[in-house]
């Protein structure tokens, strides 16, 4: 760690100095190349990747299907390491060039939906599922849904980046973000000590949003940091994470747009695949 760095008067981008995954970001928006997106047979066309933000949406689709809703979808991979998110077709759906992004062809004209929480809300309201009807419970669910959207960047882009992906270990940012992540886990642990799910006794899209990030962390999947953060001490978060992981739709959703199932077009695509991590 060095304390000799002095910021220049004008910042310039050095794309070679960003560590692992540095190619996934740049300081300007817009497309870098022309690339049309594929389209499958179903009304819902998801363009995503099996990161925590992507898993939120594939879990939602699989939960909807298992609950009997007509929510069949195609899931196409976006290789962020190769810059697919900067292709013209993807940028038309999401000008922010981040996964996931959805085109809903059940409307005329098709509806574009980007940002994972927006996609979850769009689907929950469309199908009347995994969203409370009671106004107080709905508000509580929204509290936690937007808590996740504001908090997870400290876990991912903050702690995860500096702990696992930065060019070299840096004490100050790792300590700063580890402290914040542990505080967030304590927030969840205290809440889940008194509630089965995030919105009380009802499984909702708030759980689907929070679980891939914080559930994955306490189950040992995120950044190889379980021991470092002593995640086993958050017993109520662990209970909740294991309870959700036991759901078949969650296991299916976590496989989509990953190595085991790069594309998903029908339920039969899961045939012969193990749900184990």
CATH number, residue 233: 1.20.1050.10
Assess whether 261 and 172 both reside in one domain: no
Q: Which of 62, 8, 17 is nearest to 273 (CA)?
A: 62
Q: Looking at the 3D structure of the chain, how many domains does it have?
A: 2
Assess whether 177 and 272 both reside in one domain: no
Assess whether 145 and 76 both reside in one domain: no
Tell me whether residue 209 is in a domain.
yes
Q: Quote the pTM value.
A: 0.95
- Measured distance CA(226)–CA(229) in Å, rounded: 5
pLDDT at position 85: 96
Assess whether 47 and 116 both reside in one domain: yes
pLDDT in tens, 109-136: 999 999 999 999 999 999 999 999 999 9
Assess whether 198 and 232 both reside in one domain: yes
Residues 6+ apart with CB under 8 A from 228: 163, 178
CATH number, residue 44: 3.40.30.10
- Measured distance CA(261)–CA(270) in Å, rounded: 8
Assess whether 211 and 191 both reside in one domain: yes
- Measured distance CA(215)–CA(208) in Å, rounded: 10
Note whether 240 and 234 are within 8 A (CB). no
Helices (H), the chain: 52-66, 88-93, 116-127, 135-153, 171-192, 205-210, 216-218, 226-229, 235-245, 248-255
Asked if pLDDT for residue 86 goes beyond 70, the answer is yes
pLDDT in tens, 19-63: 666 667 889 999 999 999 999 999 999 999 999 999 999 999 999
Q: Provide the pairing of β-strand 101-104 with 44-48.
A: antiparallel
Domain residues for the domain of 49 are: 20-130+255-277
Asked if pLDDT for residue 277 goes beyond 60, the answer is no
Across 246-251, average pLDDT: 97
Point out the least confidently predicted range of 17-31, 164-178, 218-232, 247-261: 17-31
Tell me whether residue 14 is in a domain.
no
Residues 6+ apart with CB under 8 A from 235: 189
Token look-up 């759980």 returns: 207
Note whether 116 and 57 are within 8 A (CB). yes
The gap between the terminal CA atoms of the chain, to the nearest Å, is 36
pLDDT in tens, 134-156: 999 999 999 999 999 999 999 99
């Amino acid at each position: 760690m060095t304390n000799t760095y002095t910021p220049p008067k004008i910042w310039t981008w050095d794309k070679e100095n960003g560590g692992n995954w540095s190619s996934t970001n740049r300081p300007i928006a817009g497309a870098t190349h022309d690339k049309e997106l594929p389209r499958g047979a179903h009304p819902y066309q998801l363009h995503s990747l099996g990161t925590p933000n992507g898993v939120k949406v594939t879990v939602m689709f699989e939960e909807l299907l298992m609950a009997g809703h007509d929510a069949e979808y195609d899931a196409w991979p976006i290789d962020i390491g190769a810059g697919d998110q900067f292709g013209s077709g993807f940028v038309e759906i999401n000008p922010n060039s981040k996964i996931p992004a959805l085109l809903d062809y059940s409307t005329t004209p098709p509806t574009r939906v980007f940002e994972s929480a927006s996609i979850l809300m769009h689907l929950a309201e469309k199908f009347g599922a995994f969203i409370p009807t009671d106004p107080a419970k709905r508000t509580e669910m929204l509290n936690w849904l937007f808590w996740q959207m504001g908090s997870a960047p400290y876990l991912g882009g903050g702690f995860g980046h500096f702990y696992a992906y930065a060019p070299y270990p840096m004490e100050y940012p790792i300590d700063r973000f580890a402290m914040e992540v542990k505080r967030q886990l304590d927030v969840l642990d205290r809440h889940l000590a008194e509630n089965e799910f995030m919105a009380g006794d009802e499984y909702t899209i708030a759980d689907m949003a929070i679980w891939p990030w914080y559930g994955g962390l306490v189950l040992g999947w995120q950044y190889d940091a379980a021991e470092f953060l002593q995640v086993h001490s958050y017993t109520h978060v662990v209970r909740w994470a294991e309870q959700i992981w036991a759901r078949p739709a969650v296991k299916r959703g976590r496989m989509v747009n990953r190595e085991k199932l790069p594309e998903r077009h029908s339920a039969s695509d899961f045939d012969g695949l193990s749900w184990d991590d």
